[in-house]
Amino acid sequence: MMGRTILNARVTFRSLPIHKLERFAIRDAGDACRQFKGRAGLDECVVIQTCNRTEIFGAASGYDRGSITSTWAGLSGADEGAFDGTVQFEEGRAACEHLLRLVSGLDSMVLGEEQILGQVRGSVAAAREAGASGARLDALFDGAIRAGARIRGSSGVGRGGVSVGSMAVRLAEENVDGLKSRRILLIGTGEVASLVAKSLKRRGYGFDVSSRTVSRSEAFCGAMGGTPARFEDVLGGFADYDVVFVATRAPYFLVTYDGIAGAMGGRDGMMIMDLSNPRTVDERVATIGGVKLMNLDQIAEMVEKNARARRSSAGAAEGMIGGGAAALEAAVLRVDAEPLAGQVFRDAEAVRRRELERALRALGGVDEGTARVIEEMSRSISEGIVAGPVGGIRRASERGRGHILDAAREIFGPG
Ligand SMILES: NC(=O)c1ccc[n+]([C@@H]2O[C@H](COP(=O)([O-])OP(=O)(O)OC[C@H]3O[C@@H](n4cnc5c(N)ncnc54)[C@H](OP(=O)(O)O)[C@@H]3O)[C@@H](O)[C@H]2O)c1
């Protein structure tokens, strides 16, 4: 039996190309948290899932990696063998370090991007709602989100609002001559589409926006800029556009080979950027003369190049990870001491109040000033006696010394 620990199991774009990650995706993260608790031996669980990662965070007293991957295989439909060499496991301090890198944007495809923070907060809320998260993971994530914000702020990583959207627009600028005079279409009205729209607007590009639901594209343009275009008209022929960004969750190809082949007659070029995972642009369009197709994998490559330029701020952020992770791990381990620490303080307080009342009764009507002095003295004695042992209990817990905690429970716990 192993000691209590925090663990992380993950499959991310670092170990697989993005389009292959889908195999490991879990459909219902809330339900998955419960399943990992029930079947894989975790006491608490949070599942974090974005288009470029699926990660399990757990608090456990005893678990085996095999039951994690078999539960995961059951939830995703992936073959159990596919996890070998693909899933990464980390425990304790290393798991805390990874979480800090994640929330600071250091493990993101787009270094320093901020969307991950919202995604982590959403995952924690889903786990709480499913009754799968508890005191230890609450302490872990609350502490990590606070530390992550500090690391971002003081290192400058992510300064300037980088995102998948801004990278996609930069990629278009690098690959299309005279982008300002080109006709640009954005398909989708979700989170990623908003990031693209924001970046287009900031750089002064005009663009059309199209989405399955007309009311959503109209509302989107009202808030983000751009001009709504009818979905059916757009999908019927892309002849009006030179650059197309696609960011939807459609489970099929919205942009087809025939649609693009038909639009290319008599024109020089078109760039299509598929930001969706799973892809929503048929890859065969890349074989049509004049069409340049790019997807998230190319963005990842660009980000690699871009990362070099940002290395100094990333370096400063990396330098803060180690100390932050040590404090985070200690905060999580301290959670185990809190029920006992609270009980010791409550017991002492009950004795103090009882004895104070008894003394005041025996003195029979003292003035307010005297009563305050006696009360303060009782408080100082009680806190002075209790603070030492409780500090010791907390320190033992922070250092993972479970046997000291067990002994303290015997000594101070209910008899
Ligand atoms: N979130 C990220 O950080 C991130 C990063 C990189 C890539 N991605 C990928 O980018 C894509 C979009 O993600 P998101 O977070 O922006 O999604 P989202 O906020 O949920 O928005 C989804 C969009 O997809 C559209 N859509 C859904 N089902 C559709 C269907 N059957 N046919 C046509 N349109 C459909 C929706 O249209 P309606 O307006 O009609 O509902 C909406 O515009 C996903 O494939 C995701 O994996 C996400």
Distances (CA, A) of 373 to 110, 199, 346, 359, 370: 61, 64, 22, 13, 5
Label residue 28 by pLDDT band (50, 70, 90).
Answer: very high
Listed residue (278, 261, 279, 282) closest to 270, CA to CA: 261
Closest to 8 (Cα-Cα) out of 115, 126, 87: 87
pLDDT of residue 39: 85
220 burial type by CB count under 10 A (0-12 exposed, 13-18 middle, 19+ buried): buried
The residue whose CA has the least distance to atom 19 of ligand 1 is 190
Which amino acid is residue 179, in one-letter code? L
- pLDDT recorded at residue 1: 34
Whether residue 131 is predicted with pLDDT greater than 80 in this model: the reply is yes
Reply yes or no on domain 5-160+311-335 having CATH 3.30.460.30. yes
The pocket around ligand 1, CB under 6 angstroms, is made up of: 50-51, 115, 164, 188-193, 211-213, 216, 247-250, 254, 275-277, 296
Give the number of other Cβ atoms within 10 Å of residue 327's Cβ.
15
pLDDT the model gives residue 61:
84
Nearest CA to ligand 1 atom 29: 250
Q: Which atom of ligand 1 is closest in space to residue 193's alpha carbon?
A: 16
**Domain with residues 164-297, CATH architecture:** 3-Layer(aba) Sandwich (3.40)
- The closest residue, in CA terms, to atom 24 on ligand 1 is 248
CATH 3.40.50.720 in the chain: give the residue spans: 164-297
CA 209 to ligand 1 centroid distance, Å? 14
pLDDT at 67 exceeding the cut of 90:
yes
> 2 or 202: whose pLDDT is higher?
202
Catalytic residues: 51
Q: Which residue has the higher pLDDT, 18 or 33?
A: 33
Mean pLDDT (the chain, rounded): 91
Task: Please return the burial class of 52, using the count of CB atoms within 10 Å of its CB with bins 0-12, 13-18 and 19+.
Answer: buried
Q: Which comes out higher in pLDDT, residue 415 or 174?
A: 174
Q: Is the pLDDT of residue 77 over 70?
A: yes
Domain(s) labelled CATH 3.30.460.30 in the chain stretch across 5-160+311-335
Higher-confidence position of 19 and 343: 343
